[in-house]
């Protein structure tokens, strides 16, 4: 389940990063005008996507840090994504997507918790 949630990160973020970088249609509606803050956000998204890919590789190699690092990434994502609900409101499409990701990541965390497998 952890790998599926990491793949979901990449699947969601790749087109968002592309659209933010190349001013894709609809980005202004969802993310606001192209500003330095929006470009910084694209960099953060890029970092999450690259880390997700790296963690998929670590999981594939059964690296002992793969699970703890994934849980740490998901914890940070859940906190900031939940904060967007308060900061922006549920009507924004970015916030709605964030809520979906929170559910998937929470399920992944509970799956690991129940299995008691906090290391590879």
Report the pLDDT value the prediction gives residue 59, as an integer from 0 to 100.
Answer: 96
**DSSP readout, the chain?**
-HHHHHHHHHHHHHHHHHHHHTT-TTHHHHH-S--HHHHHHHHHHHHHHHHHHHHHHHHHTT-TTHHHHHHHHHHHHHHHHHHHHHHT-TTSHHHHHHHHHHHHHHHHHHHHHHHT----
Q: How confident is the model at residue 112 (pLDDT cuts 50, 70, 90)?
A: very high
Assessment of whether the complete model's pTM goes beyond 0.85: yes
Report the pLDDT value the prediction gives residue 119, as an integer from 0 to 100.
Answer: 57
Tens of pLDDT, residues 65-108: 999 999 999 999 999 999 999 999 999 889 999 999 999 999 99
Q: How confident is the model at residue 27 (pLDDT cuts 50, 70, 90)?
A: confident
């Amino acid at each position: 389940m952890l790998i599926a949630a990491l793949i979901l990160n990449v699947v969601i973020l790749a087109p968002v990063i592309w659209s933010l970088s190349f001013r894709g249609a609809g980005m202004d509606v969802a993310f606001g005008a192209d500003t330095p803050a929006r470009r910084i956000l694209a960099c953060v998204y890029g970092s999450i996507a690259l880390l997700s890919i790296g963690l998929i590789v670590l999981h594939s190699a059964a690296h002992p840090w793969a699970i703890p690092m994934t849980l740490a990434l998901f914890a940070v994502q859940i906190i900031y994504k939940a904060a967007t609900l308060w900061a922006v409101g549920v009507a924004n499409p970015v916030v709605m997507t964030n809520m979906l990701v929170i559910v998937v990541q929470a399920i992944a965390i509970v799956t690991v918790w129940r299995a008691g497998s906090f290391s590879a």
